[in-house]
Amino acid sequence: MEKKPHFVRRELLPREVPSISLALLLAAVLLLNALLYLYLSKFSSSLGRVETDSGLCPFGYFKFGAVKNCSPWLSCQAINREVRKLKCVGEGAVKKVFLSEWKEKKVVLSQLTNSELKEDFLHGLKMLKALQSKHVVRLLGYCEQQFTILTEYHPLGSLRGLNETLHIPKYKGMNTWHRRLMLAIDYVSVIRYLHSSPLGTLVMCDSNDLDKVLSQYLLTSDFHVLVNDLDALPLVNRSAGRLVKCGHRELQGEFVAPEQRWPYGEDVPFEDDLMPPYDEKTDIWKIPDVSNFFLGHVEGSDIVRLHLFDIHAACKKKDPAERPSAQEVLDTYSKVLTLLIREAAMPGTREML
């Protein structure tokens, strides 16, 4: 009788199963960490870019869209000849803003409306020219004689419309705590840039209430923040003993910093000459309120607020000298983003462990 071959079925030892699972799990964790590292490295490098990055042109030139070559800022003659107004899209105390067209591209034409405020208009132009960077709206041309400025057009408009934009079906996917925190980081990056600008320490004075602050910034189509209105940017120079005052009227309300409010009580009438000047820490006081708007009320935003509680409390110190610098706020925001992204990525692996 033929003897059938005897196959021995080898059972995996109990210890081998966890060993294989642990090896696979370790590989998954390492892969996840590698992907997370690449993402965070990309994010950190974007924060650490030099302010005049390679996408910008030399002083006096511009490019935008898919155009590779830089063109000189448009002159009075070129603006008059080549730019066509389409419609008025806004008007403030200083200027009127027109959606316009140049070489089949949408652009923005700003014109002075109040001759008494021409110094403010020219100051804004001076700042716009000097501060061209990734944080500032792109200047395309200007005409001082006609008090005209030409800038790049951003269809999503100012930050005042952020919540409405995020409810448009096309952009609903951007309405997350992560994207909102990135916008807050962009905003603080602008403040940091102004406080350490090529011109010195500049204070964002057009910021007496939240709505006014939001109107000074644009939301780009790829969801970044640019400062757009630079008409009120006085310079702080401590070594020369130069501080600033944001206007000549009395400022009130909790949004403005304590040092911006009349310090002598209701019994003493406000007098501009008696109002003490202050420094750039007024901008720091306002950061928590602006960031609170950015974070909104989406899932996860309260967790972000919790992580930012200490730095925001420091921003609200009554003594300006005790408030952090814009760089310190930016560093904290970046660390919180990194931490929360890591925490969001790890829960699944913890459960597997």
Question: What's the confidence (pLDDT) of residue 45?
Answer: 45
Q: How far apart are CA 242 and CA 193, in angstroms?
A: 20
Give the pLDDT score at 25: 59
Radius of gyration of the chain (CA): 27
Q: What are phi and psi of 139, to 5 degrees?
A: -85, 130
Orientation of helix 326-345 relative to helix 177-195, angle to 10°: 160
Look at residue 25 and give its three-state secondary structure: helix
Full set of structural domains in the chain with CATH:
71-152 (3.30.200.20), 157-345 (1.10.510.10)
User: What percentage of the chain exceeds 70 in pLDDT?
Assistant: 82
Residue 235 is given by DSSP the state: E
CA distances from 33 to 21, 38, 143, 341 (A): 18, 9, 53, 11
Whether 50 has a pLDDT exceeding 50, the answer reads: no
Instruction: Find the range with the poorest average confidence among 28-32, 200-204, 258-262.
Output: 28-32
> Among candidates 157, 223, 156, which has minimal Cα distance to 187?
223
Question: pLDDT for 148-180, tens place per residue?
Answer: 999 999 999 999 999 999 999 999 999 999 999
Let me know how many helices (H) and strands (E) the chain has, helices first: 11, 11
Given this model, what pLDDT does residue 49 score? 43
* Cβ-based neighbours of 333, under 8 Å, separated by 6 or more: 181, 184, 185, 188, 308, 311
Please give the pLDDT value at position 239. 86
Q: How many CB atoms neighbour CB 230 within 10 A?
A: 22
pLDDT, the chain, mean: 87
The more confidently predicted of residues 350 and 137 is 137
Half-sphere exposure of 227 (CA within 13 A, CB side): 29
Beta strand 105-112 pairing with 83-91: unpaired
What's the DSSP call for residue 94? S
Convert the pLDDT of each residue in 63-121 to its tens digit. Answer: 877 778 999 999 999 999 999 999 999 888 889 999 999 999 999 999 999 889 999 99
Q: How far is CA 249 from CA 208, 261, 266, 273, 323, in A?
A: 11, 10, 15, 11, 25
Lowest mean pLDDT across 8-12, 190-194, 307-311? 8-12
pLDDT at 34: 56
Q: What would the mean pLDDT of 175-194 be, rounded to a whole number?
A: 97
Q: What digits encode the pLDDT tens for the residues 256-304?
A: 999 999 999 999 999 999 999 999 999 999 999 999 999 999 999 999 9
**Candidate ranges 44-48, 60-64, 240-244, 282-286; pick with highest mean pLDDT:** 282-286
Stretch (H or E) spanning 289: helix 281-295
**152 bridge partner residues:** 107
